[in-house]
Amino acid sequence: MADRKHPFVIGEYYHLYSRGVEKRKIFLDQKDYNHFIFLLYICNTLKSIKLRDLGKKFERGESIIEIGAYCLMPNHFHLLVKEKQENGISTYMRKVMTAYSMYFNKKYVRTGTLFEGVFKSSWCVNDVYLKYLYSYIHLNPAKLRDKNWRHSKNRHQSELLEYVSNYKYSSLQEYLFNFYIINPKPFPEYFANATEHKKELFEWLSYEDTQEFPV
């Protein structure tokens, strides 16, 4: 594991992200997205995971990290997490990325690295940044509708908000319907009230104009 500017500390929040090597797409169809989401759940355990367990009923037991938000994009993914136990994040990410790489390479008959090096991370320095990241991650799919939407003065916010709210591969769906990967309890109260905050997502991103946040 490469040295990090901010090492993972129990009780702290982090933004994790990684993309395909050479910016290649890592999700090519709906099954790929669904398999990765399945791995986000099944790998969050103290137990060792074997390929033969995948697709079967699996009692994962105690989780090793807390997940507050996620979003899968065609060539990358984002996670917002809380370190729950020592080396929890590193162990979890190794499990997820290794298992998905094996699945992807077998399915598409390829060899070699799928992801671009070690996953990236940034420490959530305060509540403002944490709230910003909740918004940033859930608004990522807007780029699929309009890649320059953040810089467009004439953007149609209501249409973009509807698009991201219906995007199948982010945790906003869980906040609006049923929790599966997400556990909002270890996060600030506004995480558990996403329905009320859905209309404020664009407002939260206004912080980007006045503060330097790593994303």
pLDDT tens digits, one per residue of 198-215? 767 767 665 544 455 555
**Cα-flanking dihedrals φ and ψ of residue 78, to 5°?**
-130, 145
Nearest to 187 by CA among 133, 139, 143, 140: 133
144 belongs to a structural domain:
no
Using an 8 Å Cβ cutoff, are 24 and 18 in contact? no
61 belongs to a structural domain:
yes
Helix (H, G, I), strand (E, B) or coil at 94: helix
Helix (H, G, I), strand (E, B) or coil at 164: helix
pTM: 0.89
How far apart (Å, rounded) are the C-alpha atoms in residues 171 and 179? 8
What total of structural domains would you count in the chain?
1
Instruction: Read off the pLDDT band of 147 (50, 70, 90).
Output: confident
Q: What is the predicted pLDDT for the residue at 55? A: 56
Using an 8 Å Cβ cutoff, are 78 and 71 in contact? yes
> Whole domain around residue 49: which residue ranges?
13-126+168-187
Return the residue matching tokens 């933004």: 15
- Mean pLDDT of all residues belonging to the chain: 86
4 belongs to a structural domain:
no
Strand order through the sheet with 120-123: 65-73, 76-83, 13-19, 120-123
195 belongs to a structural domain:
no
Q: Is residue 75's pLDDT more than 60? A: yes
E strands, the chain, are: 13-19, 65-73, 76-83, 120-123
Bigger pLDDT: 129 vs 114: 114
93 belongs to a structural domain:
yes
The helix-helix angle for 127-139 and 157-165 (nearest 10°) equals 80
33 belongs to a structural domain:
yes
Q: Is residue 109's pLDDT more than 60? A: yes
104 belongs to a structural domain:
yes
Nearest to 134 by CA among 9, 2, 8, 15: 15
Give the CATH number for residue 89: 3.30.70.1290
140 belongs to a structural domain:
no
